[in-house]
Structure 1
């Protein structure tokens, strides 16, 4: 059963494709139009704004703190009852260096504050912190899906693996459009969204992108 959406789509595959197309376009847009530059890095306000930008045209609940409990496999994310408190604690965490930034990211992933889109919004949120605090960006295409998923699965107990994966994927090429598109594609592929290539999407494809 599909989540209720603004597009009125009830077919799960059709919704997945439209969600990928629309939100990938939005992801590219917020990097290019200065939206990210206006956000305070590491804040929940920034994460919320990113989630709304990506999914606000799809879901009414985009950017809203979830009121239901979520789990992936055997792992249960933070209880909805304590989310507000958890988010406040995470916002207060240091982001003065690489290790601190990754630790903050891991905690926000455990919180999983939204009903949908936490991974995709969270990775942009992390990249925004790296850009503003360290002058670096994450080239997600340098981290394989299985490596990323396994590292994140283990991160609540041992964050060394995700730190190692991220450290080797950092780049100082902040203005590289090809790198950005490649990173968006890789980030989305972690969640199984790979019907479109970001570099093929643009204003000309607002009414129909180029599927692979």
Structure 2
């Protein structure tokens, strides 16, 4: 069943393609127009702003805490009735070093606060913490899809794999547009969104600077 959307798309494939196109452009804009610089890293407010930026033109529920329960395979994300308290607890988690930041990311992924688009939003949220707290950024293109998905599947009980993958994918090049566009593509490919290349979207998809 196709999610109700603002694009009037009734076909799942059409919706997926338009969602990818619109939200990828929004992801690039978040880095390039200075929006991320205004957000407090590691807060739910920052994640909400990111989610609205990516999906606000597509779904009415953008930025709203979900009221339905979600599961992936045999794993159930946090129950909807406990989400608000879970989010408050996650916000208080420390984020002073690499391990703490990844642990906070894993907990937010378990919470999965939104109806759709959690992974793509949360990876930007994670990268924002790395940028602000450690002066590093994630080059998602250095982490293969299957490796990432398996590591995240294990992360609720053991986070060693996702920490190892992220540790080897960190870069000091915070202003590289090339790194940004390939990271956006890789992040979207984890969820099966690979119909467009970020650098081809819009007339200036690969131009500008990362703030």
TM normalised by structure 2 equals: 0.96
Q: 3-state DSSP class of the match of 1:195?
A: coil
5 Å-filtered alignment, 1:68-83, equals 68-83=68-83
**Counterparts of 1:21 and 1:204 in 2: how far apart (Å)?**
14
Write the deviation string for residues 39-94 of structure 1: whole angstroms up to 9, x where unpaired: 00000000000000000000000010000000000000000000000000000000
Q: 3-state DSSP class of the match of 1:42?
A: coil
5 Å-filtered alignment, 1:1-212, equals 1-203=1-203
**Counterparts of 1:98 and 1:204 in 2: how far apart (Å)?**
33
Q: CA deviation at 1:202?
A: 2.2
Q: 1:48/1:203 Cα in 2 relative to 1: closer, same or farther (>3 Å)? A: farther
Q: CA deviation at 1:179?
A: 0.4
Q: 1:136/1:204 Cα in 2 relative to 1: closer, same or farther (>3 Å)? A: closer
**Counterparts of 2:101 and 2:204 in 1: how far apart (Å)?**
37
Match of 2:209 in 1: none
Q: How many residues align?
A: 205
Gaps of 5+ in 2: 206-211
Gaps of 5+ in 1: 206-212
**Counterparts of 2:63 and 2:150 in 1: how far apart (Å)?**
26
Runs of 4+ in 1 over 6 A off after TM superposition: none
**Counterparts of 1:145 and 1:95 in 2: how far apart (Å)?**
26
Q: CA deviation at 1:201?
A: 1.0
Write the deviation string for residues 106-144 of structure 1: whole angstroms up to 9, x where unpaired: 000000000000000000000000000000000000000
RMSD: 0.9
TM normalised by structure 1 equals: 0.96
Write the deviation string for residues 141-196 of structure 1: whole angstroms up to 9, x where unpaired: 00000000000000000000000000000000000000000000000000000000
More relative contact order in 1 or in 2 (CA 8 Å, sep 6+)?
A: 2
**Counterparts of 1:203 and 1:125 in 2: how far apart (Å)?**
26
